[in-house]
Amino acid sequence: MNVRGRIYFAYIGLRGSAIPRHYREYLKQDSVGPSPDTTRLLLARLLGHCRERVPHYASALRDLPDPALDPDAVLQRMPVLTKRTLRERFDALTSTDLAGRRWYFNTSGGSTGEPVRLIQDEEFECRSAGLSLAFSRWAGQEVGQPEVRLWGSEQEVLSGTRGWRVRAANALTRTTFLNAFRMTPAAMREFAKVLRRTRPRIIIAYAQAIYELAGFLESEALDVAPVGAVISSAGTLHDFMRARIARVFQCPVYDRYGSREVGLIAAERPGVEGKWVPPWNVVLEVVDEEGRRVPPGVDGEILVTSLGNMAMPLIRYRIGDRGALAPDPVRGGRVLTRLYGRNVDAFRQRDGTLVDGEYFTHLVYFRDWVDKFQFVQTGYDEVVLRVVSRTKDHRSLQPEIEQISARTKAALGHGTVLRVEWVDEIPPASSGKYRYTISQVTPR
């Protein structure tokens, strides 16, 4: 590891972070091949904790055999956890030892347009961060080598500022953030300058945002130095998108699959065909409509069990995606050979400004009256927000609707009209997946 990486790990280690420990352990186990018992032991620990500490699961588990004997067999007899159950049984899904943990709230609309709120703990956060760093290392970047993140938050669109602690950490790790929520032609020309100046070893980006940036650089004949690797996330990476990104940045492109609820689920890495499911973070199942596992190579619904979050365990969680698994594990983990149903559209302004669809999903986070939602850009000056609401008193929601409208205008232009449609249901796409952002605007 380089000097910057050692300094950064020493700094966060002194603050009590377990990220360095998890990162090194993942690299060590991967170098020799993880033990076949890795996932089994972690799953047994999780199920044992749930039997003793999580009311929602306790009664079911007490009627089943001891999880330590055959945790996978016990897992398959557990009920499927849905977003609706997560909302309705929030307290019962919370561990009774929460007071002794360092925890925080998180939320996700995910790519299904069904926002949920949940609790995660420090162990989950450190495990997830360490695993993300490990995947970057396998893609060829060490902590401390230049990195660019084409990411974003709605706060950056509204204020254009970031905290000084974040800036200091970014300076130490040589991480540069580019705002995926403000991709004007002028901004993308500046992005090109940043890439030429920093010469990143790796770019981590929203799939749609890096695809659009690559297209802009290509159309404007703006050259950038070759990048070591691009890692895409938060959206479907289609083959035509991968081809353009690889061509423009002259590097391999690796796709990551995850969610806020459970962290990183699977990711591409050198030497593996498909998306590798690391054995330390989740158990991934592909099941039929009855929740029974389907044979390898057969398409089905994806269920995810998070192995690291004891504050609010998610067991057999219906993530909202479909896929298929390879017959045999690779390097101790299963491999997703196919993944369906994830899609994010970029919205457009008349002047060519692009706003990643993730921006709009953030506008409805933590709004308890939203059951399902979908943003549709029907024209340059109109966005339709379809909402399945949990309340019939829509008049009382007007202040929040006005806030969403103002933030929509902040991203797309002050002439933009937000039209809200209160609906009983939002039909899925032909893939069977709810698309949470749809752009019907054709580029000029």
* Boundary-marking domain end, from 220, 251, 282: 251
pLDDT of amino acid 183: 80
| Band (114; pLDDT cuts 50, 70, 90) | low
pLDDT of amino acid 227: 94
What is the tally of structural domains in the chain?
A: 3
Q: What is the mean pLDDT of residues 351-362?
A: 79
Q: What percent of the chain has pLDDT over 90?
A: 55
- Is 50 exceeded by the pLDDT of residue 386? yes
> Do both 284 and 353 map to the same domain?
no
| Per-residue pLDDT tens over the stretch 298-337 | 988 899 999 999 999 999 999 888 889 999 999 889 999 9
pLDDT of amino acid 162: 55
Q: Which of 103-107, 227-231, 351-355, 377-381 has the lowest mean pLDDT?
A: 351-355
| Residue 233 dihedral angles phi and psi, to the nearest 5° | -160, 180
- Is 50 exceeded by the pLDDT of residue 390? yes
- Is 70 exceeded by the pLDDT of residue 154? no
* Boundary-marking domain end, from 321, 340, 359: 340
pLDDT of amino acid 179: 87
Please say whether the beta carbons of 138 and 270 come within 8 A: yes
Q: Which has more pLDDT, 51 or 344?
A: 51
> Do both 33 and 83 map to the same domain?
yes
Per-position DSSP letters for 204-255, written without gaps between them: EEEHHHHHHHHHHHHHTT---PPPSEEEEESS---HHHHHHHHHHHTS-EEE
> Do both 194 and 224 map to the same domain?
yes
- Is 60 exceeded by the pLDDT of residue 343? no
pLDDT of amino acid 25: 94
Token output for 329: 């594990």
- Is 50 exceeded by the pLDDT of residue 375? yes
Answer yes or no: is 134 within a domain: no
pLDDT of amino acid 109: 56
pLDDT of amino acid 428: 63
Average pLDDT, the chain: 87
CATH number for the domain harbouring residue 166:
3.40.50.980
Q: What is the mean pLDDT of residues 221-238?
A: 88
Q: Where are the beta strands (DSSP E) in 83-212?
A: 103-108, 116-121, 147-151, 175-179, 202-206
Answer yes or no: is 135 within a domain: no
> Do both 383 and 421 map to the same domain?
yes
Report the predicted TM-score, pTM, of the whole model to 2 decimal places: 0.79
* Helix H or strand E segment including 438: strand 437-439
pLDDT of amino acid 434: 61
Please say whether the beta carbons of 395 and 389 come within 8 A: no
> Do both 73 and 102 map to the same domain?
yes
Please tell me which of 65-74, 177-186, 430-439 the model is most confident about, judged by mean pLDDT: 65-74
pLDDT of amino acid 161: 44
| Band (443; pLDDT cuts 50, 70, 90) | low
> Do both 33 and 106 map to the same domain?
yes
> Do both 157 and 231 map to the same domain?
yes
Please say whether the beta carbons of 295 and 286 come within 8 A: no
Q: Which of 35-44, 77-86, 106-115, 153-162 has the lowest mean pLDDT?
A: 153-162
Q: What is the mean pLDDT of residues 2-20?
A: 84
pLDDT of amino acid 155: 54
Q: What is the mean pLDDT of residues 416-441?
A: 79
> Do both 301 and 378 map to the same domain?
no
Q: What is the mean pLDDT of residues 261-290?
A: 93
Domain hosting 432: range is 347-439
Q: What is the mean pLDDT of residues 377-392?
A: 92
